[in-house]
C-alpha cells in the first residue's frame, strides 16, 4: 500500500521565492497534518485538515504561509515569500479520522533550504 507521498524530497531556493510543497495522503484517510521540524523547535504542527476543511491553523507562523486541500487526495503548503529561517524539514501526515486516538502516518518529508 502506498503511504503518504510528499514532493519534492529536497528543495533549495533563494530567499524571496515562492515555495510549494505537495502531499498526497493515504487513500481513505480523512485527516491531514502539516508539520515543520527543526533542531531548535522540534516537531511543530502547522495546520491540520479534516475532510478537506482546515480545523486548526494556529501553528502557521505568519501570513507568508498558506495551506490548501482542494480535494481528499491532495494538499499544498505554500511559503511566499520564503526566508532563510523557513529552512526546515516539512512533514505531511495523515490519519484515518480527525480523532486524536488514531495513529498518524508520516511522509518522507521535504527538506527545504532557503539561501
Partner 1 sequence: GQQVMQIPQYQHVQEGEDFTTYCNSSTTLSNIQWYKQRPGGHPVFLIQLVKSGEVKKQKRLTFQFGEAKKNSSLHITATQTTDVGTYFCAGKKDTGRRALTFGSGTRLQVQP
Is the preceding omega at residue 81 within 30 degrees of 0, hence cis? yes
Q: Which one of 20, 52, 54, 56 is in contact with partner 1 (CB under 8 A)? A: 56
Nearer to partner 1, 27 or 80 (CB): 27
Residue found under cell 511559503: 79
Candidate residues 55, 85, 97, 115; the one interacting with partner 1 per rule CB under 8 A:
55
For residue 1 the three cell numbers come to 500500500
Peptide bond just before 59 cis, omega within 30 deg: no
Q: Which stretch, 16-24, 36-44, 62-70, 80-88, contacts partner 1 (CB under 8 A)?
A: 36-44
Q: Which residue has the cell 486548526?
A: 56
Residues that bind partner 1 (CB under 8 A): 33, 35, 42-45, 48, 55-56, 58, 91, 93, 98, 100-101, 103-109
Amino acid at each position: 500500500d502506498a503511504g503518504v507521498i510528499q514532493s519534492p524530497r529536497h528543495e533549495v531556493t533563494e530567499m524571496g521565492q515562492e515555495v510549494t510543497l505537495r502531499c498526497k495522503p493515504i487513500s481513505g484517510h480523512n485527516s491531514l497534518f502539516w508539520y515543520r521540524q527543526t533542531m531548535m523547535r522540534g516537531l511543530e504542527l502547522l495546520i491540520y485538515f479534516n475532510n478537506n476543511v482546515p480545523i486548526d491553523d494556529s501553528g502557521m507562523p505568519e501570513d507568508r504561509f498558506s495551506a490548501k486541500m482542494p480535494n481528499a487526495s491532495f494538499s499544498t503548503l505554500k511559503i511566499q515569500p520564503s526566508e532563510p529561517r523557513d529552512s526546515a524539514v516539512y512533514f505531511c501526515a495523515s490519519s484515518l479520522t480527525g480523532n486524536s486516538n488514531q495513529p498518524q502516518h508520516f511522509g518522507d518529508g521535504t527538506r527545504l533550504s532557503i539561501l
